[in-house]
Structure 1
């Protein structure tokens, strides 16, 4: 995998390349990033760049024998460790290496739920057990077969239990030309003994613009749809792909139209809207409600005078400013968010969507048109 194949993260790519050109590669690095930001493919591209036989100034060549093996994830000096579901036939990570490779070759942007779907998980808990730690020690004790640097990429070290302390000496004093790259999402869940022995590389979430451009180039969405989904995904490319696959609706236009129906007390239109939403399917209904929650939270920022923090795209932002100027107040927005979150909770638990969305629609009328807020909420006039 090459750096050019990874979405965004230009600053991090430049930083990683610089560590190689200046010969200051830390032997144990922790890539800390939000879900869907591309830390795993970035780590693979970094390892490939380090071992490339003909690397250029910014990327690996992609053509040498090392790069060709890295592209197929079969280089003998590239090792992976990851959470798995132990069983009689699966005791160490290499026992499910084929499934791991096939998943990454299909799409390297993955999370634990995607990985779980590739395995026979049943009701088991994923972890990285002591047997895996011993196998890591064994593998890294051997000399490199071909490359100058042996690389171990450990995905989600949060799943190491206390048995992970078996790796401490190896991480602190590794064999010559050995590189550890740990890829984590939550710094607090990592063993402090391991955390103290690594150099942290913080990888930011993708920008909405980067996600939008990716969706426009790969999914055939309209610009409005791509903008809506990137806003809803909030930098998580995995989530953005799932949204693009699940629905083709215009979330922004549909949601603001729904608010206007409530403000206008247009009950017949709300009933028609409810009938339409009931046909969407539960995932699309949940996505719509989540979009509404995120949209109204941005409106709350506008109402609080924190316009600089708002992430809405220009056209949607104009609509939000009109709503906050003429219709919404902060307590009203908070009350509607509460109703949407409750609706999302009940949709997940198989509530009847027609009844549920009709109830929420009537709550919108009460909150927006008649300014009747839930008990305990104080209404503040504009």
Structure 2
């Protein structure tokens, strides 16, 4: 993988290349970024740049022998470790390397749910077991085979339990030109003994405009469709790409229609609307609610006078501005709280008809009868 294939993160890319050009490569680095930020892809591109035989000013060459092997994840000095669902106590990452290569090449912005689909997970918990730790020590005790560096990319070290302490010595005193690139999402879940031995590379979530432009240029999305997905995914490109495969169109109109029915207290029409929502399917219901939460948040920003922080397409912004004339911050917060609870229950397979009818009644109480549930009131300073 080359840096040019990764969306955004230009400052991080330049920083990584500078460490190589200036010979300041730390032997143990932690790429810490939220899901969908591209941290795993950045680690692979960085490893490819390190081993490239003809480095360019802004990327690896992509055509040398080393780069061609990296593109297929088959370089003899590139090793991976990742959570898996062990069937036998001796299973390690090599047991699943073919599935790993297939998954990463298809989805460079991989997450654990996508990875699970490539494995026979059954009801097992993902982890990085002691057999894998021993395999890592064995592999990295050898010298590089054909490149300057031998590199291990360890994805999601959060899944290393206390067995991870077996790696401390080799992380602290590795063989010459041996690098550890850990790729994590949650710093608090990593063993402190490992965390203290790494150099942190902090990777931010992607910007709204970066995701929007990527969806338009690579996936031929319309301006409005790309804007809606970029808005909904909240900086998570993995989530944005999943949404591309779903029916994400019309959430704005659907959500506004719902609010209007509730504001008008249209009983029979609301029942018909709830039936429509119940037939959308769980993922679309979650995305619909996520859109509603985000839209209400933008209304709160408008009500608070923070217009410069609002990210809405022009047509949706106009609607949001109109909503501020019939809604105050306390009402918006009450609706948002109901939508968040509904999203939580949809994830846990609640009955959609009962759930959306209940939420509708709560919205009616808020927007029609101005009844704000206790604990959701906005308290100004």
Secondary structure in 2 aligned to 1:246? coil
State the distance in 2 between where 1:161 and 1:251 align.
41
Note if contact 1:329-1:380 (Cα within 8 Å) is conserved in structure 2: no
Q: Distance in 1 between matches of 2:57 and 2:281?
A: 49
Corresponding position of 1:369: 368
- 8 Å CA contact 1:82–1:155 kept in 2: the answer is yes
Indicate if the aligned counterparts of 1:36 and 1:205 stay in contact, CA closer than 8 A: yes
* Root-mean-square deviation (Å): 2.2
The answer to which of 10-19 and 349-358 deviates more is 349-358
- Per the alignment, residue 16 of structure 2 pairs with 16
SS at match of 1:154: strand
Measure, in 1, the Cα distance between the counterparts of 2:149 and 2:257.
Answer: 58
- Aligned equivalents of 1:313, 1:34: Cα separation in 2: 25
Using the TM superposition, name which of 238-247 and 267-276 deviates more.
267-276
Verify: 1:211 aligned to 2:211, yes or no.
yes
Per-residue deviation, 1:376? 5.3
Q: Is residue 155 of structure 1 aligned with residue 152 of structure 2?
A: no
* Residue 60 of structure 1: aligned partner: 60
Specify every segment of 5 or more residues in structure 1 that has no aligned partner in the other structure, as ranges: none
| 2:143 corresponds to 1:130 | no
CA contact (8 A) 1:225 1:251 kept: no
User: Which secondary structure does the structure 1 equivalent of 2:67 belong to?
Assistant: helix
1:177-216 aligned at under 5 Å gives the runs 177-216=177-216
After superposing on structure 2, the runs of 4+ consecutive aligned residues of structure 1 that deviate more than 6 Å are: none
Q: In 2, distance between residues paired with 1:218 and 1:141? A: 42
1:366 Cα deviation after fit: 2.2
User: Which residue matches 2:70?
Assistant: 70
Residues of 2 paired with 1:378 and 1:97: CA distance?
52
Which deviates more, 292-301 or 127-136?
A: 292-301
CA-to-partner distance for each residue in 1:74-127, whole Å, 9 max, x for gaps?
000001011112222752111111111111111111111111221122222211
Structure 2, unaligned runs of 5 or more? none
Partner of 2:340: 341
Aligned residues of 1:227 and 1:313 also touching (Cα < 8 A): yes
TM-score, normalising length from structure 2?
Answer: 0.93
Distance (Å, rounded) in 2 between the aligned partners of 1:303 and 1:291: 18
Residue correspondences, number:
380
Comparing 60-69 with 360-369, which one deviates more in the overlay? 360-369
- Indicate how the Cα distance of structure 1 residues 161 and 354 shifts in structure 2: closer, same or farther if over 3 A, else same: closer
Separation in 2, partners of 1:39, 1:376: 38
Who is 2:228 aligned against?
228
Structure 1 position 161, deviation (Å): 1.3
The 5 A counterparts of 1:196-345 are 196-267=196-267, 269-324=269-324, 326-345=325-344
CA contact (8 A) 1:332 1:367 kept: yes
SS at match of 1:168: helix
Give the equivalent residue in structure 2 for 1:38. Answer: 38
Q: Residues 296 and 53 of structure 1: is their aligned pair in 2 closer, same or farther, counting only changes over 3 Å?
A: same
* Separation in structure 2 between the aligned mates of residue 138 and residue 287 of structure 1, nearest angstrom: 45
Contact in 2 for aligned 1:33/1:205 (Cα 8 Å): yes
